[in-house]
Every structure is written in C-alpha cells, then in structure tokens.
Structure 1
C-alpha cells in the first residue's frame, strides 16, 4: 500500500508526480476526514502555510516570529513565495498575511522513511497577539497510547476531494508505538513519532500536513499516512522528541 506525506496540490507538493519518489510516497496532502467546522477563534495557534498564495500545509505559532511545521512542507519551496496566514478560520477571507524570512528543517530529515519531519519558519515581522492569534506550548513529556487529543486543519474532507474553506477539527486518540507498528505493518515507526486512530472514516488527509495535534500542549506535527481515514493510523512527528532542536533553532 502506498504511503503519503500530506500536503495540498500536486502543483505545490508534487506528491503524485515524484518529488518524494513516485514509488514511495507517504501522503503529503491531507484534510481532516470525519471532522466538523471549528468554532471561530477556537484554535488561535493554527496557521495556513501557503505557497504562491495557495494553502499547502498547516502549522502552529510558537512565538511572535516562529512557526512550527513539517520539514516536507518547506523543503524544495522558495521561502520568498511562502506566506503564513494567521487569525482566521477561513482560507478565503480574514486573517493576517505574513511574509517569510527563512525556513529551517531538521538536518537529519529523511524523505524516504519520513523521519525527523520537523521544521521552523521565521517571519519577517513579528506577530501581534490577540484573541485570534496566540502561541501554543509544546509538550515536554512522552505521551503514550489511549490519550484523547484534537487535530485541526484545512486538509481534504475525503480522498480524493475538495479542500474546505472552513477550518476543521476532530477528536482523536493516540496509539502506543507498538500498536501503531502492528496496525501499519511498518516497523520504521518509532518513539520519535506518535500515532492516532479512532474509527475508519476519521483522520487526517491531504492539506493537514504540518498541522498541530494537541493535548492542552502540542504533542504532534502531521507527517504521513495512508490517504485518507481508511482505518489505518495517521503518523505525526512527536514534538517532545524534538523540543531541544526546536528551542535551539527557534527565532
């Protein structure tokens, strides 16, 4: 079965045309399947990472100048054409558009195994925090299985399908690493990652890549899965495993 990292369109991510090796793609283009419209202002840390003006990935606000996302969301993309939109639940309207100064991804990112899939984006001008624009804290502790969490994003509602205009959210539950390996039949998944699975028909999809998985604090970054919500776990970069790198490299 083909795996995919979860970005937006083939024009942007080349997810189906070989950017990540056509023989080995872990879905780069998710939207939340089985979720619902998020209340206005419920996720003030959520951002839309756009390339040439189109939504490509999700991400989260760490501080006034730093955005957290997935490495596969920035590798191969010229920072000059990346913008970050904050403060709106809609892709089509509202919010603030911020230019990007530079991007920085983990030096050991492996596009074949989709490992160390974490990156930081530096904004040219700092954010002004308010009711709809707020940072999120990142988790320091290891989060094991059977923990309730929430995913938000603008990934596709089904696969193939349309990108929603309205931000989506869904309640999910974490798996242990052992459970994730067994359900995916993929022993490359390890404790540097965290997985979720509730029911078939619920989960991440293309366009959710880079977005935040949260249990009060952010525990995961959407990384890869089998598109979409087909009863297999979704895999996220485990934020606590990279907290040192994040804090050393944040802007």
Structure 2
C-alpha cells in the first residue's frame, strides 16, 4: 500500500496564462455519478460554501486543488499544491459550486509556499496564492474567517471539495461536503502504527477520523476544514482514500502569524 498524498505530484505545465473566458469555464472529464465525490459526501448547493475556490491548471483547465478566500486578493491552500510550480501554471475560479461552468477566473500574481515546507514530511504544508485582480464579493463569493484558537478533539467539523472517491477516479462536477470529527494528535499518530508507511503527525497538524468509506480524496488538497464558521484546517495528506485511517490537515491556528505577515490579513 502506498501513501496517497492529496493530490499526487504533477508534472509542471507550460506558462500559457489565463484562459480566455469569463463565466464559461471549459469542461473537463467530470462525472456526476453519486460515487464520484468526497467519499461519503453530499452535493453542496449554490452559496453553501462561498469561500471555496478551485485551483486549476492553465493548460488542461482541470481541477487540481481546493483553497479558501482570505481577502479580495489572497487565497489560502496547501504548499504541496503549488510547490515547484509557477504562477502562470494555474488560475483560480471563485463563485461556482460546479466545475463545468459558472464562476469567475482569476490570474495569479504570486505563489507563496511556507519557506520551511518539507516536501518529504509535509511539515508546514501551507501556502498563499496572490491574485492579479481583486475578487468581487457576492452571495456566492465571500471570505472565510480563520480560527486563532487551538481546536481540540471530538468536534463536528465540515469539509468541502471536489475530490475523487478513489484514485484515479473522476472529479465530481458538483462541490461536495461532509461532516467529520476531530481527534487528538496522539490518537492520530497511534492509529497510523498499523499502516505500512506514514508520516509524522506534527503539533502544527490536525486530524479527523470517521467511519471507513468516508473522507477526503485526490483533489481535496488545500481545501478548508471548518468549525463553527471558521477555518481550522487545510487538507494536507492521507493514506489511500477513506480506508479507516485518520486524515491529516495543516492546523490554521499554528500559522496565524505567518499568514498575517505574508497576506496582510
């Protein structure tokens, strides 16, 4: 069994800039079947998650990672989503719960991964995307507040994203969401003892666990984990999707100072 990092590393694509469209996002091989979604998730409706964004490849226009809106020109995501890439390799779509159409595309000015990000252990798996033009807020587009306090375990949290159900499945067209529960980092690391291979669960991480068959998968990376209306985590890594092991997130409260210094939020 191999570790599934969300998403798998991709080959760097060429710099072709922002695609020439506004509200007509070019379609990719998305699948509306009920099986191809956040595993065990449900269809989100329009405006359910106005802070959710889709980070897409400029050449193929395919969804790569999720992210969240911090302010009109800054997106929060995972470092492994942008590590080794250039700003022109991606663009960001806001304001749509469908991958196939709708939303507004924004060109990227800068990719700013944490300077101490470790691509082998996924420590400091956090990054900011600086946009070339400001996002216009609406009922379908608004920022998410960040949780500054340390969040404990046993809490009901919400994850949203367009991740697949299994590798190499299709991304669902409709945004998915699921309720999960946080667990302690100690229990999280202990549950990985039976895994063939794993990574350290750092103090700056946060874990969720639910029944086997539910949880994030490829394409959910960088997306927001939310508790009580505030973002507490960023999807980082997991074992092959929803097999009963915990899912690991970057703990937002551990990086409030870094975010403020780099995003001026």
Distance 1:193 1:37, change over 3 A: same
Q: CA RMSD in A?
A: 1.8
Distance 1:12 1:164, change over 3 A: farther
- Which residue does 1:34 correspond to in 2? 40
Kept in 2: contact 1:196–1:234 (CA 8 A) = yes
State the distance in 2 between where 1:63 and 1:141 align: 20
1:206 counterpart = 2:218:
yes
- Which residue does 1:123 correspond to in 2? 131
State the distance in 1 between where 2:220 and 2:188 align: 20
Among 90, 113, 116, the alignment partner of 1:105 is 113
The CA deviation at 1:170 is 0.2
- Which residue does 1:249 correspond to in 2? 262
Distance 1:151 1:191, change over 3 A: same
For residues 8-30 of structure 1, the C-alpha deviation after alignment (integer angstroms, 9 at most, x for no partner) is 685569xxxxxxxxxxxxxxxx9
State the distance in 1 between where 2:37 and 2:261 align: 31
The CA deviation at 1:71 is 0.4
For residues 158-190 of structure 1, the C-alpha deviation after alignment (integer angstroms, 9 at most, x for no partner) is 334211111000000001001100111257202
1:6 counterpart = 2:6:
yes
Among 225, 235, 243, the alignment partner of 1:222 is 235
Give TM-score scaled by structure 2 length.
0.85
Q: Which has the larger radius of gyration?
A: 2
In structure 1, list runs of 5 or more residues that go unmatched. 14-29
Give TM-score scaled by structure 1 length.
0.89
For residues 49-107 of structure 1, the C-alpha deviation after alignment (integer angstroms, 9 at most, x for no partner) is 01122110000000000000000111112211210000000001000000000110101
Match of 2:122, SS? Answer: coil
After TM superposition, which residue ranges in structure 1, 4 or more long, deviate above 4 angstroms? 8-13
The CA deviation at 1:31 is 5.8
Map 1:139-158; keep pairs closer than 5 Å. 139-158=147-166
